[in-house]
Structure 1
Amino acid sequence: MSRDTGRFTVLHLSDVHATESGLLYGAVDGLGRMARVGDYARAAGITPEVVVVTGDLAQRGEPGAYPAVAEACRRLGEAVGAPVLTVLGNHDDPAAARVLPGHADGHSGERTVDGFRIVRLDTSTGALDAQQLDWLAAVLADPSERGTILALHHAPIGSPMPALSRQGLANPEALLAVLAGSDTCAILAGHFHHALTASVQGIPVFVAPSLAYHQVMDAGPHAVAGHDSPMFSLVQFTETGVSSSAIALQTPEPLFTRPISPIPEKANHVS
Structure 2
Amino acid sequence: MAESIIVQLSDLHLAAPGELPYGTDTAGNLRRVAKALWAMDVRPSAIVLSGDLSDRGDAASYEQLRDLVAEELDPFGCPVLAVLGNHDDRLQFRRTVLGEEAPAEGVDEPFTHVLDLDDVRLVLCDSHWRGHVEGLLGEAQLAWLDEQLAGAGERPSVIVVHHLSVPRGVPRADDYLLEDRADFAEVVARHRVAAVLCGHSHVTTAAAWAGTLHAAAPAVAFQLDPSARTGGRGYEGTGFAICTMRDGLAVVNAHLLPDPGRELFDRRTSARP
User: Same fold per TM (> 0.5)?
Assistant: yes
| Corresponding position of 1:262 | none
1:103 deviates by 7.9
| Corresponding position of 2:253 | 245
Instruction: Choose the corresponding residue for 2:237, options 219, 229, 235.
Output: 229
Distance of 1:78 and 1:138 partners within structure 2: 30
Q: Which runs of 5+ in 1 are unaligned?
A: 253-271
| Corresponding position of 1:120 | 124
Distance of 2:153 and 2:128 partners within structure 1: 26
Bigger shift: residues 63-72 or 46-55: 63-72
CA separation of 1:117/1:240 partners in 2, compared to 1, >3 Å: closer, same or farther? closer
1:245 deviates by 1.6
**Is the CA contact (8 Å cut-off) linking 2:13 and 2:221 kept in structure 1?**
yes
| Corresponding position of 1:23 | 20
RMSD between aligned alpha carbons? 2.1
| Corresponding position of 1:163 | 172
1:106 deviates by 5.2
CA separation of 1:103/1:49 partners in 2, compared to 1, >3 Å: closer, same or farther? farther
1:145 deviates by 4.2
Distance of 1:121 and 1:9 partners within structure 2: 19
For 1:95, what is the secondary structure of its paired residue?
A: helix
For 2:206, what is the secondary structure of its paired residue?
A: strand
Distance of 2:121 and 2:100 partners within structure 1: 17
Q: Which runs of 5+ in 2 are unaligned?
A: 102-108, 130-134, 261-273
Distance of 2:116 and 2:70 partners within structure 1: 19
Higher Rg of the two aligned structures: 1
CA separation of 1:168/1:103 partners in 2, compared to 1, >3 Å: closer, same or farther? farther
The 5 A counterparts of 1:1-271 are 3=1, 6-21=2-17, 22-28=19-25, 30-98=26-94, 99-101=96-98, 107-125=111-129, 126-219=135-228, 221-239=229-247, 241-250=249-258
**Is the CA contact (8 Å cut-off) linking 1:133 and 1:178 kept in structure 2?**
yes
**Is the CA contact (8 Å cut-off) linking 1:144 and 1:183 kept in structure 2?**
no
Distance of 1:63 and 1:170 partners within structure 2: 28
**Is the CA contact (8 Å cut-off) linking 2:119 and 2:248 kept in structure 1?**
no
Distance of 1:78 and 1:103 partners within structure 2: 20
Number of aligned pairs? Answer: 246
Distance of 1:56 and 1:135 partners within structure 2: 23
Distance of 1:133 and 1:176 partners within structure 2: 10
For 1:59, what is the secondary structure of its paired residue?
A: coil
Bigger shift: residues 164-173 or 106-115: 106-115
CA separation of 1:93/1:191 partners in 2, compared to 1, >3 Å: closer, same or farther? same
TM-score by length of 1: 0.83
Deviations 1:160-209 (A, max 9, x none): 33321232111101111122221221101000110101111221111011
1:102 deviates by 9.8
